[in-house]
């Protein structure tokens, strides 16, 4: 089950309802599971009803746009208390949101329209790290840790992921202080 910060249960907008359903589908089955039929099944409506709302080609774009906004809002909200560690899930149930993000990232590899949306979200993620000496290194490390958290057989624990990123941030802090004026 996806945690509340990734859902808009109180929204009546078509895009939010489709995104909520698609997020559940993506979290459970990855990028290949996303289809009008799967979203319809989750919504308990017919695929024909869903296709009246969005085409098969539009679905990934609608979902990517809505979910990317939620994703970055979640990180930006947490950054004030957690710093760069906000790039990683805080609770075990948050890993479902990471699964959705990774599934959308997989879709972006094959779809320029989805890639554009996620690229804009990545820029906003990078903005969270503006106070660091190497934000791209931290973001790349967070990406790898996110993937490791979602491993099916030997998933990394949240504690291990947070510890690894904290170690990198500490190292960057030391490197930055040594690299400063002499």
172/18 Cα distance (integer angstroms): 41
7 phi, psi to nearest 5 deg: -120, 160
41/48 Cα distance (integer angstroms): 11
- Using alpha carbons only, what angle is made at residue 66 by residues 90 and 32, rounded to the nearest 5 degrees? 85
162/39 Cα distance (integer angstroms): 33
Q: What is the pLDDT of residue 178?
A: 34
Which domains, and CATH codes, for the chain? 4-175 (1.10.357.10)
Q: What is the pLDDT of residue 10?
A: 61
145/140 Cα distance (integer angstroms): 9
Q: What is the pLDDT of residue 164?
A: 93
pTM given for the model:
0.85
Q: Are 78 and 142 in contact (CB under 8 A)?
A: no
Q: Position of tokens 């490390």?
A: 141
pLDDT tens-digit profile, the chain (182 residues): 666 566 555 666 888 889 999 999 999 999 999 999 999 999 889 999 999 999 999 999 999 999 999 999 999 999 888 989 999 998 888 999 999 999 999 999 999 999 999 999 999 999 888 888 889 999 999 999 999 998 877 778 899 999 999 999 998 885 543 333 33
């Amino acid at each position: 089950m996806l945690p509340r910060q990734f859902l808009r249960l109180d929204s009546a907008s078509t895009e939010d309802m489709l995104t909520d359903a698609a997020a559940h589908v993506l979290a459970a089955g990855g990028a290949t599971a996303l289809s009008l039929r799967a979203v319809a099944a989750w919504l308990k409506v017919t695929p024909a009803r869903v296709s009246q709302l969005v085409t098969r080609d539009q679905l990934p774009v609608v979902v990517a746009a809505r979910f990317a906004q939620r994703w970055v809002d979640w990180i930006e909200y947490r950054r004030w208390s957690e710093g760069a560690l906000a790039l990683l899930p805080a609770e075990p149930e948050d890993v479902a949101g990471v699964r959705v993000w990774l599934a959308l990232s997989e879709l972006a590899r094959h779809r320029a329209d989805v890639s554009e949306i996620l690229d804009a979200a990545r820029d906003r993620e990078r903005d969270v790290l503006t106070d660091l000496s190497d934000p791209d290194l931290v973001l790349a490390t967070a990406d790898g840790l996110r993937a490791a958290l979602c491993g099916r057989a030997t998933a990394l624990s949240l504690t291990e992921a947070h510890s690894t990123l904290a170690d990198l941030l500490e190292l960057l802090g030391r490197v930055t202080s040594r690299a400063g004026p002499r």
